[in-house]
Chains A and B, each alone.
Chain A
């Protein structure tokens, strides 16, 4: 919000430099995001009087003699502008002058003559007609005849002024105005606030036909209307135009300008309706009907719903409440009678309407943050005062005040000094507290250490002792806070719990296995699911959609981590990386039902990805097996199937009979579809694994118990088999275990394929350990081996080699 310093000074005597003021504002919660000095980079430009002017023959130039007072009574200055005349008062830049556009004035030869300065246009001084009449002409800015010769132009044009762009926090809607900031400045400078003049003298003229009715009081808790008449149309005075233009408002017509001026000054948006255009001279505030339309002042037709609050007459909408007036009730040069409106509209409703229509106005911006009823009243009074003062209308007697009766009184409550200081942790003296609150216009009465405070009506944010504590420290100074370290708190034990510590160690483990941790976004689009060649009815396609995605690319919550991994690998391949390993441990989001009716399940997935010539299914499987061994997990791999993985190189991963993941090689057709150079695709080899880490967390051993060796003899035997190539190692192990109750462990120690073994055959060699609750004898081992061999031969046609 832009605030002009000189305007601020009208309400409070500011006796500190602008820089200091900015610091003070910052300290009390109002950050000045930008400070603009209006006279910036204007030096040695003064009011000059053209004492003589003649055409410089053979050129388009004029030779002027300019009296610049103390800067020389006879300066020879050439100008190309046609609007200069003898006796004209003009801004004259003398030698050594600086202009906002960076120009520095030096003696300069023009044609055959030296020029010792420059006459300036409004544009060259960075101002327009709103600042001073004549600034926009094509030529030199001609100043009024009474401009004092030799006066610094910055002073003369009142450019020795600052604009502060202040950010206002959401809890302080009362500060969205010059007056609101003035109140704060008055408080921290401990100076009196000079309120604007709210007085006016209504005539006895009434307009009895006017009626004001608020149907939807929940959306419009307060509505004030006032009848003004004998409206005259003229331009606003320069001082008003200047203030409006600095804040981004163009000047239109005095009565319309007043409504904008009051918005800036008091923070209350106002609206003026041409009474002639109101059917039945009525105002009806109601929700729009479904499909109802209104053409707003910007000449756009708006289609409405009952979510939108409409200001209507007997028949039609004449304004979009709190946002923009209707074109049909606009003030015209012929308008003679007006109904002025000052109202409070519910902030979230204004926000919704403004958002849904994409219509953001200064009025809406203020209503959205909230206006208070004190401001509604004061805004109306001030507008009437200005209408009368500028002489652009007569103030009638007809006044309308419709209220839902919510916030018309002041809030009052008790708070103790101890309670305030208990929030802050320091001892602010009672006298200081009282003084601060009074400076902020709170009424305070003291009874011992109990303070009865009456909150100013515009401070709807102040409700209890904590709010008071904030007011106190804001003014007392945050630098008075004395850091303490939880001096009254109980000692607690902290740190990562078992699973949190475990998770970190798992991440570090995969790092040590060569995997880089990545972080990808939790949302993607259905294109990512298409990339995985998932069938239409795949469970992964049942995903949660965002109602308001910022882009189509991020429109659904991920149900599978692999696309993110594939994209990261593809990006790195594009960056000329030939190999790499990544992991991510993050959530997927699984709806329990669609459309979503309850919070979905969030499952942590450990996703691994590896690419490069040295990577294979087994290199990644090795990492997973090693992780499992380190963490006491007993994994089992079985042939698996996924739409996006190689049909022959994919395994489901089980732990304690629970499917906990998958590992496999990415299909060639998916690699083909990736957006990377063809040359880099041909030998690209991508291995992916997804492990349901939420499940793994449940499978970690809760505790470890040591089992001493029972001392009985065990026997280890080797068994080499020839079997069908398609037979899986895990099947053989299962059959070995199922054939003998004495098998305590089976492990593969050799594996090879060779033509000599026969077509389609392979050899597997296992080391088998027999153990029992007594010594295992050689005879026992022999007979168990026989059982095993005959079982293998019978079940899977394996032959001992």
Chain B
């Protein structure tokens, strides 16, 4: 039986010479093509005795398949080499800068406002934005800041008419919410407010965020519990609150809320002026007169309210000591708040 070893030698020698697509194609022509050596073997079939024909046929087939397998292996090998070359050729300097434009970013006050909203949104607060031009009724009277009361002086008001004014706080949002919503109420009122003073720590326009919860059984403990969660989220877990007595006409009891200094952990540093505490907001239990002014039964419902100065938190968070810089809109300042 012929073992075609000679042909195999030839195939082997030839395939080893193959280095690229065209020599591979030559290989096919020489051995596996219609005019190729292996195809030529079939022509010898007629010279093979009939009883040997099946064996001969199988042997030729074996050689063909063997050669085809070599061909496929080589083909894959060459493909890999070619890809490798292509990739090498196409390689670029990936460190070349690509984006020739620039991106802006949100104002730091917006960034902090949004962080604060996110915290309270998670607690189930809706967000309401009231008008910036208010009337005496919403800004003062129904918040129990009565006409003859000196607490009106606590906030220097920009008046537009005898009755209309630039809101001095976001607290009118409490009234507007309670006028249109029945308890349970959890609302956050962020927005701009205006007071007629201007110096290093005051701007005639600034931002506040009012919070109001009205439901059954709301207490001073709930105010502190909720604010503990808030300051934990904003200033880092472990930040604690401290309540101390204060006065706002629309809450009773009223408290100032201090947070333990997140810079020194309460040991005392320049940020907290050595006290370990930083004043951040005011709040209290909603004065029943305010609930009643909005038609809410104070025998059934009670509430808590708080007001946070957004600039204050922004300055504390970002280490800004001069409020004026927030409103100067210098790019050197603005571009530092990409986050």
Chain A interface residues (CB < 8 Å from chain B): 26-29, 169-173, 346-348, 351, 368-370, 422-426, 464, 466-467, 469-470, 473-474, 478-479, 481-497, 500, 504, 507-508, 510-523, 544-551, 554, 557, 568, 571-572, 575, 577, 580-583, 586-587, 589, 595-597, 599-600, 602
Contact = CB atoms under 8 A, between A and B. Distances in A.
Interface stretch (B59-67, B69-77, B103-111): B103-111
Contacts of B105: 511, 516-517
B96 interface: no
B126 A495 contact: yes
A307 to B, nearest CB: 14
Contacts of A520: 327, 329
A490 B185 CA distance: 9
Contacts of A425: 219-222
Contacts of B215: 486, 488-490
Given A494-B186, A495-B127, A522-B192, A170 B218 contact: no
A173 B122 CA distance: 41
Interface string B181-209: 00010101000101011100001110000
B80 interface: no
A489 B218 contact: yes
Interface in B159-187: 159-161, 164, 166, 184, 186
Given A489-B215, A568-B329, A577-B331, A517 B222 contact: no
B150 A170 contact: yes
Contacts of A172: 247
B189 to A, nearest CB: 12
B110 A470 contact: no
Contacts of B110: 507, 517
Contacts of A582: 104, 329
Interface in B253-283: 253-255
B35 interface: no
B213 interface: yes
Interface centre among A424, A479, A519 (most CB of B within 10 A): A519
B127 A351 contact: no
Can you list the 4 inter-chain pairs with the closest CB atoms, starting with the nearest?
Answer: A425-B219, A425-B221, A29-B245, A488-B217
Given A171-B247, A512-B104, A546-B158, 7 more contacts: A478-B244, A479-B242, A494-B122, A496-B127, A511-B103, A599-B135, A599-B164
Contacts of B194: 522
B334 interface: yes
Contacts of A482: 221
A464 B302 CA distance: 14
Nearest to A600: B133
Nearest to B196: A550
Given A549-B158, A550-B197, A474 B247 contact: no
A490 B186 CA distance: 10
A518 B244 contact: no
B111 to A, nearest CB: 9
Contact of B104 (A169, A517, A600): A517
Given A488-B216, A496-B117, A483 B224 contact: yes
A557 B161 CA distance: 13
B260 to A, nearest CB: 13
A368 B149 CA distance: 9
Interface in B279-337: 285, 287-288, 302, 326-332, 334-335
12 contacts: A28-B245, A29-B245, A170-B151, A481-B243, A489-B215, A494-B127, A511-B104, A522-B194, A550-B197, A568-B329, A575-B331, A596-B161
A332 B4 CA distance: 146
A774 B96 CA distance: 52
Contacts of A423: 219-220, 253, 285, 302
B133 A516 contact: no
A486 B186 CA distance: 11
A170 B117 contact: no
B292 to A, nearest CB: 11
Contacts of A507: 106, 110
Contacts of A26: 244
A493 B287 CA distance: 25
B216 A512 contact: no
Contacts of B252: 466-467, 469-470
B148 interface: yes
Contacts of B166: 522, 546
A548 B158 contact: yes
Interface centre among B154, B221, B243 (most CB of A within 10 A): B221
